[in-house]
């Protein structure tokens, strides 16, 4: 009987006493590389664009060739579903064997994961390629919607609202301000719209408008709970109430996403639109998805912009592989390939004004493209509000307009 009891209880006792598996040390990069070899990294990332998806397939191939790490793209419609999954795993006691190893993230989702201690780190500062972002000169690579990243996410690419229009339909200069967009829409009913909230691009349009219309912009850079939300946002709702009847389908329907809005331009239903990737219109022209008469521009007083990141959940079982992947994404090779208009056209987070000539030579020289903005056109970038404003605006928009 005693022997049978020992046979049953000893493994349980050892299990209880056994320490949790030690996380890899980001500062010991050689050990990280050794541990990563043979791992499979499950990368949860938005999958709403074919060019992005093809790039991630290329990343998988290169990671297997260089590091012996397989990358599986877990395709998402909304990043918040990944956040919810990690939170559910934590609440369920799954502290070591999570289903997500890396997540494409920024803004309110990063804030939510940090607030609930759902991220592994700090690790970003230890990535060998991170210094190429020159964070001391580019604070946006270490700040996410006003929040310091503190090494818990690694920068991957840049974004800034860029408007584009069909010059065959619009004579003269396009509308150069949020107010002018309303005037133009009134004069050209049905030729402009924005994606349905809570789509990220649509929500970004709300923030762009609010920044330019509100009389209390300082409130936008602090938690929304510290402000009078109704008073601060009143000019936005007045603006949208006036704008909606002049939108595509009279504002009764909205495209689901930025790519859907682009397709409406390509089909000739819209003459004016916007994107969060400054090179997207030129890339779409090159792919014959938009007409050659497309032109890009930014609003006169600047447009909203940010950096997008990747982060590692606290319970990833493949943290070493995830760090190696995050570092590869920052490599000159991967950044240059992503930057290529024929591949994706996503702007690089490397500081090309400070890297050496050998790295600079990797980035393709873009042939003259009338749909592509020159880099200096994007110099006036408006900072993102505090992440709590995104959620509050989405909820208020849905309460006000869904079903109308």
What confidence tens digit (pLDDT) does each residue in 193-231 have?
999 999 999 999 999 999 999 999 999 999 999 999 999
* In-domain check, residue 2: no
User: pLDDT-derived band of residue 88, with 50, 70 and 90 as boundaries?
Assistant: very high
**91 and 146, same domain (yes or no):** yes
Is residue 341 in some structural domain?
yes
Kindly state the tokens that stand for 113. Answer: 């994961």
Q: Is residue 91 in a domain?
A: yes
- The pair phi, psi for residue 133, each rounded to 5°, is -85, -10
Domain shared by 89 and 173, yes or no? no
Do 318 and 280 belong together in one domain? no
Here the CATH number for the domain that contains residue 263 is 3.40.190.10
Whether the CB-CB separation of 123 and 154 falls below 8 Å is answered with: yes
Same domain, 41 and 173: no
Instruction: Note whether residue 16 is domain-resident.
Output: no
11 occurs within a structural domain:
no
Lowest mean pLDDT among 4-13, 106-115, 133-142: 4-13
Q: Is residue 235 situated within a structural domain?
A: yes
Check whether 261 has a pLDDT greater than 50: yes
Question: Does 148 share its domain with 191?
Answer: no
Average pLDDT, rounded, for the chain: 92
Distance of alpha carbon 28 from alpha carbon 134, whole angstroms: 21
pLDDT value at residue 287: 87
Check whether residue 324 and residue 390 sit in a common domain: no
**Cα pseudo-dihedral 23, 27, 29, 30, rounded to 10:** -90
Residue 1 has pLDDT above 50, yes or no: no
List alpha helices for 315-354, DSSP H: 319-329, 332-339
> Do residues 268 and 396 share a domain?
yes
User: Which two three-digit tokens encode residue 247?
Assistant: 């939108």
pLDDT at 9 over 60: no
3-state SS, residue 105: strand
The reported pLDDT for the residue numbered 364 is: 77
Same domain for 214 and 295, yes or no, is yes
At residue 67, does pLDDT exceed 50? yes
Please tell me the predicted confidence (pLDDT) of residue 19: 40
At residue 122, does pLDDT exceed 80? yes
pLDDT value, residue 3: 37
11 has pLDDT over 60? no
Whether residues 267 and 186 fall in one domain: yes
CA-only gyration radius of the chain, Å: 23
Q: What is the CA 328 to chain-centroid distance, rounded?
A: 18
Find out whether the peptide bond into 122 is cis, omega within 30 degrees of 0: yes
Instruction: Please check whether residue 395 lies inside any domain of the structure.
Output: yes
Q: Is the peptide bond before 198 cis (omega within 30 degrees of 0)?
A: yes
pLDDT in tens, 302-334: 999 999 999 999 999 999 999 999 999 999 999
- Shared domain for 103 and 116, answered yes or no, is yes
The pLDDT value recorded for residue 375 is 75
Q: How many domains does the chain have?
A: 2
Closest CA to 274 of 75, 283, 265: 265
Q: What local confidence, expressed as pLDDT, does residue 39 receive?
A: 98
Residue 220's domain comprises 160-305+379-401
Classify burial at 360, counting beta carbons within 10 Å of its beta carbon; exposed 0-12, middle 13-18, buried 19 or more: middle
Instruction: Reply yes or no on whether the pLDDT at 286 is more than 90.
Output: no
Please check the confidence at residue 161 and state whether its pLDDT lies above 90: yes
Average pLDDT (355-381) is: 85
Q: State whether 168 and 190 are in the same domain.
A: yes
CA pair distance 356, 242, nearest whole angstrom: 51
**pLDDT value of residue 403:** 59
Same domain, 112 and 233: no
**Does residue 12 lie in a domain region?**
no
């Amino acid at each position: 009987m005693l022997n049978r009891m020992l046979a049953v209880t000893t493994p349980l006792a050892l299990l209880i006493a056994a320490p949790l598996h030690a996380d890899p040390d980001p500062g010991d990069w050689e050990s990280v590389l050794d541990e990563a070899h043979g791992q499979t990294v499950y990368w949860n990332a938005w999958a709403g664009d074919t060019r992005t998806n093809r790039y991630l397939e290329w990343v998988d191939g290169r990671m297997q060739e260089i590091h012996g790490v397989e990358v599986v793209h877990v395709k998402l419609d909304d990043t918040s579903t990944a956040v919810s999954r990690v939170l559910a795993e934590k609440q369920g006691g799954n502290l070591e064997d999570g289903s997500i190893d890396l997540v494409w993230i920024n803004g309110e989702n990063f804030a939510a994961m940090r607030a609930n201690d759902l991220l592994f780190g700090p690790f970003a500062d230890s990535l060998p390629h991170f210094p190429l972002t020159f964070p001391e000169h580019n604070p946006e690579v270490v700040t996410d919607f006003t929040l310091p990243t503190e090494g818990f996410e690694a920068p991957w690419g840049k974004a800034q609202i860029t408007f584009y229009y069909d010059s065959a339909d619009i004579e003269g200069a396009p509308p150069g301000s949020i107010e002018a967009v309303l005037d133009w829409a009134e004069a050209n009913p049905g030729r402009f719209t924005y994606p349905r909230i809570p789509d990220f691009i649509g929500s970004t349009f709300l923030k762009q408008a609010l920044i330019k219309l509100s009389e209390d912009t300082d409130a936008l850079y602090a938690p929304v709970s510290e402000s009078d939300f109704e008073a601060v946002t009143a000019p936005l709702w007045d603006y949208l109430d006036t704008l909606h009847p002049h939108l595509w389908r009279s504002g009764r329907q909205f495209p689901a996403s930025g790519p859907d809005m682009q397709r409406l331009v390509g089909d000739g239903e819209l003459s004016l639109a916007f994107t969060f990737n400054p090179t997207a219109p030129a890339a779409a022209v090159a792919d014959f998805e938009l007409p050659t008469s497309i032109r890009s521009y930014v609003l006169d007083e600047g447009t909203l912009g940010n950096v997008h990141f990747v982060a590692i959940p606290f319970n990833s079982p493949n943290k070493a592989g995830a760090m190696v992947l995050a570092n590869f994404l920052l490599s000159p090779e991967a950044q240059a390939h992503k930057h290529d208009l024929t591949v994706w056209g996503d702007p690089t987070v490397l500081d090309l004004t400070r890297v050496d000539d050998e790295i600079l030579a990797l980035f393709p020289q873009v042939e003259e493209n009338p749909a592509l903005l020159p880099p200096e056109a994007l110099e006036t970038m408006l900072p993102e509000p505090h992440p709590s404003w995104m959620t509050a605006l989405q909820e208020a928009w849905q309460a006000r307009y869904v079903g109308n």
